[in-house]
Structure 1
Amino acid sequence: MRSLKKCSGEDVAYHLLITVVAAVLLQAIGAFSVATPNTGCYALDNSSHIHDFSSWVGQPFEYEGKGKDADLVVRFCKDVESRSQAGYVDYGRFDKLNYFRAGSGRVSFVQEYFNGDLMNCEQSYDKMGRTAKVNIICGNCPHGQCKGGLGCICNVEYESACRTVVELAIPCEKPGLRVFEGFTVGFHPRSWEIVYNGLTQLGYEKAHKEFSFNTAQTRVALYMTAIASVSGSVQKPLVKVSPELGLKVTLSGSAATGGSPTTLSPTSLLIDWRCDVARDNPYEVEVTIPIENYDPVQFTLTKMCEYQQSDGGGAPGGWAIFGVLSCIVLVASTLFCCGGFIYKTRVYNQRGIDALPGMTVLSACLETVSGVGHGYSRPEDVNNPFANQASWERQPASTQATGRTSEVRSSVPGYKNVHKTDLSLEAADIWCSASAYKTLLKPSHFCGGKD
């Protein structure tokens, strides 16, 4: 058990040391990014090293036919033509999209040419008319046909009148950096605007002002994917800002902690940057992603700083907090109203608008503001003699006085038609005085006294 722990600790220390050394070297001497060549005339060999043939674009190679065979001309990364006194026949044009790839055996690379002349070849290979395939050999022809120069065509075979196979020998240049194939970086989990197939795309291989991010954008999210079999080779990214002062940059996300990206579960790299010093030219943020056993992936982002930004989240952060608080208040108010409505409905047997919480307080406030002493009455106060009545429920003063006088006389001892009641004469007098005051009548008039 001790030996296992010791080995594990040594492995961690070793990898940590390698990471630190790589970071120091990258910061000191700078890492060369594996950028996409300006032309599509490039290929990756079987060891994933890039070969750039941009300087060979349009270079002609001619093969002299024998007898009735026409001469065949290959214009490198351009087209393939069969020429004769009657003219020439186009056997296809070079397509830079995935048609320049590594070969096998003595063939180093393979090029494909499509969309040639269609006469009598409308039903040929993939319905593209005449096509050509060029097998590139790095070095000399097997039989030594080439006599110096930039190379020559070793052999030409016609599979049919619509398909030709050309064997071309050229002195290949020294291979370039090793590309981490299958690795992508984009602004979406399924996009690759920045890095595609391990190659940094045009616009991000160096600083471009037209590709700059504006000042208000304080965060950029990048997503990385890689082939699962080699995803563990991706290490923590490094950032270098130029100029060093004036722009504060911090990294976060699963990619910043060294997560392994795959095509099914991309990792995210969140770049938060804040402008401390405003300037006319954009800041350059160089992101370097070390890859074990491969050359690092490097790309450059540019950030405009037209004004200085505060430490706070700014207007977007403030509005976000306000929105969250508003949602909390709205939900709490809704729950309070619903709970109060259910409680008053079941406990106090109130119905309709009377069961809403706060209606009693609201009614009192409305009466106070309007100055009118008559408001809506609660259901339990209908039989209360002191309850206020709405204006449309009020009867004429004479009718009220007559009705109330007869009611009192019928309930007070000493009058005719006296009914059984528990109301004493003293209580009746108090009630009469209060009712007479409300109807602006004298107590003697209202309670059965003489004029």
Structure 2
Amino acid sequence: SVATPNTGCYALDNSSHIHDFSSWIGQPFEYEGKDLVVRFCKDVESRSQAGYVDYGRFNFFRAGSGHVSFIQEYFNGDLMNCEQSYDKMGRTAKVNIICGNCPHGQCKGGLGCICNVEYESACRTVVELAVPCEKPGLRVFEGFTVGFHPRSWEIVYNGLTQLGYEEAHKEFSFNTAQTRVALYMTAIASVSGSVQKPLVKVSPEQGLKVTLSGSAATGGSPTTLSPTSLLIDWRCDVARDNPYEVEVTIPIENYDPVQFTLTKMCEYQQGGWAIFGVLSCIVLVASTLFCCGGFIYKTRVYGLDALPGMTLLSACLETVSGEDVNNQASWEEVRYGSI
């Protein structure tokens, strides 16, 4: 599973492997020739006896090209004399990161060094920084999302599991009454066929019944225009104070799997009354059909007199019509009609 790092100081290289530089945040790199200091993933400053000039604060991290492994952008530096800069962002800086040593071998061990500094203008500087990059991390399935809506990505964004779902968090738990949750997946169409059927692991194993359905459960290929749905039905068979952990694993061909954890509260047992209600309905319907069938059968064999209360009804009708209830002929005529 590839979880989003706690900081924004990370990047994906051109082969989609993650590089986490969180431990480097604030590490200073000084270029004495032009009195410039890069504080990694924090800011870029020009320092001199006249004072400090801020060339921006860290904004984003992305993969580079050629001999440049990664690129960092720093925005919103000092605005003085740069009021007309693009989008009024003030001074800005671009840091090209090289994994290894400078092209001319300037770095002499340690955590790296600044190879070169160029000023494109008074409001823009470009820094070339060499650092010993760590071993690449897991391979991320870029462009893949999982959310509670076809156009949302609360759980997985760009192949990275979001904070809150990378492990069990009680505050993110679904309540007992919610017996179904729907998840929606999207992926880049050209690689959507790499998405495999999801797998589920429940901890503890006994007490919560989980079933999967939907187009994602049958191996459908998600795209941005046609998301697939994963319906998770869960029922509490055993109540407990702590939530159940439901780990969902989505295998991705040629990539590390996507994993996230959902938590489900079970404050009371579910299913008992539901089963009783279903059985009661079945018994009621069966009894009704049996009685109706019996009445229809008797009516066809013995006529209407076979139905309960028909004799009493006939007597009441004779009384209302003024016929003599003791007149056998009249009684027979009412029952069978005149011949």
TM-score, length of structure 2 as denominator length: 0.80
1:174 to 1:360, Cα distance in 2 relative to 1, 3 A:
farther
CA drift at 1:125: 3.0
Do the aligned residues in 2 keep the contact of 1:185 with 1:224 (CA within 8 Å)? yes
CA drift at 1:237: 0.2
List alignment gaps of at least 5 residues for structure 2. none
The number of residues matched between the two structures is 337
Do the aligned residues in 1 keep the contact of 2:56 with 2:76 (CA within 8 Å)? yes
1:381 to 1:57, Cα distance in 2 relative to 1, 3 A:
farther
Alpha carbon RMSD of aligned pairs, Å? 8.1
Structure 1, residues 369-424: CA drift from partner, whole Å, max 9, x if none?
99xxxxxxxxx99999xxxx99999xxxxxxxxxxxxx999xxxxxxxxxxxxxxx
Structure 1, residues 60-111: CA drift from partner, whole Å, max 9, x if none?
00001xx88xx000000000000001110000000xxx72100000000000
CA drift at 1:127: 1.9
Going by fraction, where is helix more abundant, 1 or 2? 1
CA drift at 1:124: 1.2
1:341 to 1:88, Cα distance in 2 relative to 1, 3 A:
farther
CA drift at 1:270: 0.2
Do the aligned residues in 2 keep the contact of 1:125 with 1:131 (CA within 8 Å)? no
Whole-angstrom distance in 1 between the partners of 2:250 and 2:334: 99
1:318 to 1:106, Cα distance in 2 relative to 1, 3 A:
same
Do the aligned residues in 2 keep the contact of 1:340 with 1:356 (CA within 8 Å)? no
Do the aligned residues in 1 keep the contact of 2:181 with 2:233 (CA within 8 Å)? yes
Secondary structure in structure 1 of the residue aligned to 2:308: coil
Secondary structure in structure 1 of the residue aligned to 2:311: helix
Q: Which residue of 1 aligns with 2:331?
A: 392
List alignment gaps of at least 5 residues for structure 1. 1-32, 310-316, 371-379, 394-406, 410-448
CA drift at 1:347: 34
1:278 to 1:155, Cα distance in 2 relative to 1, 3 A:
same
Secondary structure in structure 2 of the residue aligned to 1:320: helix
Structure 1 moving runs of 4+ over 3 Å: 317-348, 352-370, 380-384, 389-393
Q: Which residue of 2 aligns with 1:56?
A: 24
Whole-angstrom distance in 2 between the partners of 1:101 and 1:390: 106
Secondary structure in structure 2 of the residue aligned to 1:106: coil
Do the aligned residues in 2 keep the contact of 1:188 with 1:223 (CA within 8 Å)? yes
Question: Is 1:166–2:127 an aligned residue pair?
Answer: yes
CA drift at 1:355: 34
Do the aligned residues in 1 keep the contact of 2:214 with 2:231 (CA within 8 Å)? yes
Secondary structure in structure 1 of the residue aligned to 2:297: helix
CA drift at 1:144: 1.0
Q: Which residue of 2 aligns with 1:295?
A: 256
1:39 to 1:336, Cα distance in 2 relative to 1, 3 A:
same
Do the aligned residues in 1 keep the contact of 2:3 with 2:162 (CA within 8 Å)? yes
Identity %: 97
Do the aligned residues in 2 keep the contact of 1:337 with 1:356 (CA within 8 Å)? no
Structure 1, residues 282-336: CA drift from partner, whole Å, max 9, x if none?
0000000000000000000000000000xxxxxxx99999999999999999999
The structure with the largest alpha-carbon Rg is: 1
CA drift at 1:342: 31
Going by fraction, where is strand more abundant, 1 or 2? 2
1:364 to 280, 302, 315: 315
1:137 to 1:326, Cα distance in 2 relative to 1, 3 A:
same
Do the aligned residues in 2 keep the contact of 1:184 with 1:192 (CA within 8 Å)? yes
Question: Is 1:93–2:57 an aligned residue pair?
Answer: yes
Do the aligned residues in 1 keep the contact of 2:245 with 2:263 (CA within 8 Å)? yes
Whole-angstrom distance in 1 between the partners of 2:316 and 2:108: 108
Do the aligned residues in 2 keep the contact of 1:131 with 1:163 (CA within 8 Å)? yes
Whole-angstrom distance in 2 between the partners of 1:124 and 1:450: 110
Do the aligned residues in 2 keep the contact of 1:251 with 1:272 (CA within 8 Å)? yes
Whole-angstrom distance in 2 between the partners of 1:117 and 1:381: 115
Secondary structure in structure 1 of the residue aligned to 2:103: coil
Structure 1, residues 35-82: CA drift from partner, whole Å, max 9, x if none?
000000000000000000000001000001xx88xx000000000000
CA drift at 1:147: 1.1
